[in-house]
Amino acid sequence: MTDTQSNDEKRATSDEIAWWHWHRRLYNWVVHWADTRYGMAALIILALTEPICVPIPADVMVIGLCLGRPKRSLRYGLTCALFSVMGGTIAFSLGLAIGPERVVDFFNTVGLGQKAQLALDMYTKYDFWAISISALTPVPYMLFSWLGGMAEVSLFKFVLISIIFRTIRFGSESLLFYCLGNRAKRLIEKYFNIATIVVIIVLAVVVYAIKLLGRLFEG
């Protein structure tokens, strides 16, 4: 089969996907990066910018690249974790430069100054859980990176917790594909919609488990 035929088939397959299956279209778009020389560069850019201003989870790129080249999975996962923490640190520093006073003053203009201060105080009180949950789960890491700086929590603590839990998150994803190889790709492509639901359920359970542990430690 020629490259032209292969590309035509890929386009045909994409066209056959229903318009409401946007997640499957996104999956197909991401997986194609593994067949280009720009895959790693795209991963680094997304991982670095996601915690700052991009509302697209880097997991999409990690999983896509791992599916394309399973033997490089661990490299993809660890690279994503490293640059994600770097991006989070940049967002944290920007939040720190803004400071809690400016945040409260801004929300005072719309009558929400007290609630903004309460949110910052709660972040400071439960900083470990806020950072770890956002670093490990779908809770926006970008939001909590900025808030961490605004709440003036310890930069060392933020970076350390982020390294641990971002590595767990992206490392476990990449390890799965490294171990299963092409079997993971075949299973996901065959049961994609079911896999999407399962992932959401698993992540929800993880969030609940972390919150439960937090209550135990507080008690």
pLDDT of residue 150: 92
pLDDT tens by residue, 80-95: 999 999 999 999 999 9
pTM above 0.85, yes or no: no
> 80, 62 in Cβ contact below 8 A?
yes
- pLDDT tens profile 118-162: 878 888 888 888 888 788 876 789 888 999 999 999 999 999 999
Percent of the chain with pLDDT over 70: 66
Confidence of residue 193 (pLDDT cuts 50, 70, 90): low
User: Cα(first)–Cα(last) distance of the chain, in Å?
Assistant: 64
What are the sequence ranges of the domains in the chain?
20-218
